A and B are shown apart, each in its own frame.
Chain A
Amino acid sequence: MSEKILTAEELAEEIKKRFGVKDITIDKKAVGVKKRERVNLWIKGRREILKDLVKYLMELDYPHLAIISGSDLGSTVELIYHFSIYYGRKYQEIAINFSIELPKNDLTVPTICDLIPGALVTEREKQEMLGIKIEGIPDDRRIFLPEDFPEGVYPWRRDETGPDKMIRDLYEVREDED
């Protein structure tokens, strides 16, 4: 881990240079009477660079993965990895929101559990809620959905694999006979 702390601008430049990413937005917001700033970096990237980006962040500071959020955008599924680095240094944390879009005919993304073991819970959640496949995930069981939830239905999807039919035809849901 390097001692030098990069500013948001330096970090954005470095990521652009190393990974060939073009679309990076630096979102600064000043709050309170003293107008102290907090910095969000929004990066639009590709899944091919995900692991290398995490490795690069690990060179700077151990990245904290808060959550992976996901949206069904029609022809693609978007995943956003919400990382942060430089926590533990007063007011210097940089939040890094790394988004990737996966085409619906190839919903796969490599696991990052080998780098950040704490990513397991959120990766399992993305599998069951969005129907994506996390390649190499150490534990691919469901986590939040019940075991009797039908296969092939993904609650956060907005297409034919979404839960619309289950919600519309609620009368079909019967209690188990046991």
Chain B
Amino acid sequence: MDFFHQLIQQLINGVSLGSIYALIALGYTMIYGIIKLINFAHGDIYMVGAYLGFFGVTAAGLPILPALLISMFVTGCLGMVVEKLAYKPLRHAPRISILITAIGVSFFLEYTGMYFVTPTPRTFPDVMGNISFDVAGFIINGQQVLIFAITIILMALLTYIVQKTKLGKAMRAASFDTETAQLMGVDSDKVISMTFFIGSSLAAAAGVLVGVYYNTIDPLMGIMPGLKAFVAAVLGGIGILPGAVVGGIILGVIEALVAGFLSSTFRDAAAFAILILVLLVKPSGLFGKNTNEKV
């Protein structure tokens, strides 16, 4: 019974963490889907989002929701600017050039961030108070409720955009085949730009939520979650939106279980072990289809 109780509690923690991975992974997978770039800077975009949320709550004294929305908007714009300045000029360059550029952008965001906000971690104010809910003996705290609520709303919104709007149709077309989409009248530059906006604002939301959840943020906080979100995207099948969500949640749950039942030092290794396993068994991910090169 005790073990069972602990298991459920770890599952709740895992799903909270996993929701955050899912939000970051969505951006990763959208961007990869459309320009085939592992955007190593995506984790740092998430860091910027966390800081903007932090300053919104502390310096501007805003409540959490407006701070979250402002952070999402500003970070979304930052994502667009990064794409315009750093990736767009390289659209037809070899893949490795863009990848190295992404690493460069990542370093740039980390260390420019460090320059302005200093490397010392900041304590995120407690915006939820000490609320917690007791559901049949399991504790769900206010932060977790906030994470679940925001994640569900954002995912519903994203689903609507992708499935129902003209922009979403254009995004799907462009990620299927950019050139053909362009021939069919899709303005691919605009679509890519919007993809970066949406992906980056989702990452910003994740950043703010992590600040609320763990109470602490620092300029290098994006490195590991960024990588793990990519693992989540690969796990679900890169380029597939529901895949990113499922991948993120599975990853979060596995990490929580490893940390809870084995040792927290193996937490990071678990994520990478999953990655290797997926790549070796089914590189296209849980939801992906295998493709082969034509001879």
A binds B: no
